[in-house]
Amino acid sequence: MNNKDVVIIGGGAAGLAAAVACRERGIEDILIIERESALGGILKQCIHDGFGLIKFQHSYTGPEYAQKYIDQVEERNIEYLLDSMVIDITSQKVLTVVNKSGLKKYKAKSIILAMGCRERTRGAIGIPGTRPAGIYTAGVAQNLINIHNYMIGKEVVILGSGDIGLIMARRLMLEGATVKMVLELLPYGSGLPRNFNQCLSDYDIPLHLNHTVVDIKGNKRVEAITMAKVDPHGKVTLSTCQEVPCDTLLLSVGLIPENELSKMAGIQMDPLTGGALVDEYGQTTVKGIFACGNVLQVHDIVDNVSLEAEHIVNGVERYFSSLVIPENNIKIEPGEGLRYVLPQHIQYLDDTVFSFRVKKPGNKKQIIFRNDHRIIKKKSFIRVNPAEMIRIKLTSSELSDISDSKLLKVELNE
């Protein structure tokens, strides 16, 4: 058994930032465990720019952004394992890791979960039709094109307007493929507004809102898809079915936090985020295990992942200190109009950033933090969009106003 102060699972954006922050706080004995053969996570294949605007006030590509953190990990001699998979983790914080050199056990004082997320697949949303070659999730297509230098199709239809799908629409156009259209089930786009402009409008790729794929044709390779309109209740209008010849269907239909290991450790999950239930420092229901990045909540931009990872290290530091942790147990609940709120509970009453997403886009809205009938904080927005994660800070003094009911509701109001 090897002992470690902090074991970080995942060497992507969250894991790297957490590792650097841990070392900054004087934690020496850190180990990053990465399953791939290089650090950087999904950023490695995101060769477009737009990363780092918040953190560095500069637009970097994904690999450049990752490299800034990889350099810091290297400079600080933070230990990491590559090509290593954590296959088991217990609530006692014992990790089983397998790699070419063997099967090893680590006993960690603290664990930081930074495993990221995976893409929702065709099977998960049950798209009817045949199952030929030529159906890819956007991320797999991105990997094949950007990392492996292959082309995955010539005539492409994209289902779902998530950011990776939009980025890939542009990428495929630049590589000589034709992106015929992007179909989106919802009455509004799922990606960031800037990506609709830079990736669709600039390339004359049509976006069809309220549309979905109701059939896939072809036995060997995709030959066509059938698109159809959906009514406001999400029901397909069969009279609107239209066949679109294509050889590729790309899916960008959502991301799911990758929490199989968290569940093994007995951590309680939040069905709303698909991630762990945490306090304001990312501590899960298993003391000493923390979560950050896309494994906790699917982020909109990587800068927020780094910020979140750096923030939760405060929690790790406190966990190591002999300070008595206050147990205020204030529960946070998303009210009307919000998909979720993080953290789900708070203990310390320090200045705390709450992050959440709205369910629908809207103009002139207010976010209200309410304790019983009292309004703790109110913030107005000209426009809200589910694609963008909203972050609002409540100060320590605002939080100390919370009364005995210990329930803080976050609502979206007109």
Partner 1 sequence: MSRNTDNHFDVIIIGAGVVGCSIARELSRFKVRVAVLEKESDVGWGSSCRNSGVIHAGFNNQPGTLMAKYCVEGNQSFHSLVEELDVPFQKTGKLVVAKNNREIAGLKKLKKQGECNGVKNLDIIDEQEIKKLEPNIKGVAALLSPETGITSPYLYTIALAENALKNGVQFYLDTEVENIEKKSSGDFVLKTQNKQFIADYLINSAGVYCDEIAKMADIDHYRIYPCRGEYYVLDKNASSLISHLIYPVPNIEEGGLGIHLTPTVDGNVLIGPSNEYLNKKNDYAVTTEIVQKLFQEAQEYLPGISSKYFIRNYAGIRAKQTPPLQGGYRDYVIEKSEKVPNMINLIGIESPGLTAAYPIAKQVVTMIDKKEKLSPNPDFNPSRKSILRFEEQDEKTKRKLVEQDSDYGEVICRCEQVTKKEILQAIDNPLGARSLISIKYRSRAMMGRCQGGYCQTRIMELLKEKYNYRWNDFLLRGSESYMLTGNRSNGEPAL
Contact region with partner 1 (CB under 8 A), list: 58-66, 72-80, 99-107, 191-199: 99-107
Q: How many residues bind partner 1 (CB under 8 A)?
A: 53
Q: Does the protein bind partner 1 through residue 233 (CB under 8 A)?
A: no
Contact region with partner 1 (CB under 8 A), list: 59-67, 115-123, 192-200, 377-385: 115-123
Task: Identify the residue among 96, 178, 314, 366 touching partner 1 (CB under 8 A).
Answer: 96
Secondary element (H or E) of residue 176: none
Please report how close the Cβ of residue 124 comes to partner 1 at its closest, in angstroms: 5
Please report how close the Cβ of residue 140 comes to partner 1 at its closest, in angstroms: 6
Q: Does the protein bind partner 1 through residue 125 (CB under 8 A)?
A: yes
**Residues 248 to 287: which contact partner 1 by CB under 8 A?**
248, 260
- Listed in sequence order, the residues at least 6 apart from 271 whose beta carbon sits closer than 8 Å to its beta carbon are none
- The CA distance from 69 to 12, in Å, is 9
Burial 102-134 (b: 16+ CB within 10 A, else e): eeeebebbbbbbbbbbebbebeeeebebeebeb
Q: Does the protein bind partner 1 through residue 34 (CB under 8 A)?
A: no
Counted residue by residue, the chain has a size of 414
Burial 326-349 (b: 16+ CB within 10 A, else e): eeeebebbbbebbebbbbbbbbbb
In the bound state with partner 1, the residue whose beta carbon lies nearer, of 236 and 392, is 236
DSSP characters over 276-311: B---TT-B-SSTTEEE-GGGTS--SSHHHHHHHHHH
- The CA distance from 219 to 135, in Å, is 12
In the bound state with partner 1, the residue whose beta carbon lies nearer, of 61 and 72, is 61
Q: Does the protein bind partner 1 through residue 61 (CB under 8 A)?
A: no
In the bound state with partner 1, the residue whose beta carbon lies nearer, of 132 and 362, is 132
In the bound state with partner 1, the residue whose beta carbon lies nearer, of 14 and 332, is 14
Contact region with partner 1 (CB under 8 A), list: 137-145, 345-353, 367-375, 405-413: 137-145
Q: Does the protein bind partner 1 through residue 133 (CB under 8 A)?
A: yes
Pairing state between β 30-33 and 79-81? parallel
Task: Identify the residue among 3, 57, 77, 126 touching partner 1 (CB under 8 A).
Answer: 126
DSSP characters over 24-62: HTT---EEEE-SSSSSSGGGGG--SEEE-TTTTSS-EEH
The residues that touch partner 1, with contacts defined as CB under 8 A, are 35, 83, 85, 87, 96, 98-103, 118-119, 121-126, 128-134, 137, 139-140, 143-145, 147-154, 175-176, 214-217, 219-221, 236, 247-248, 260
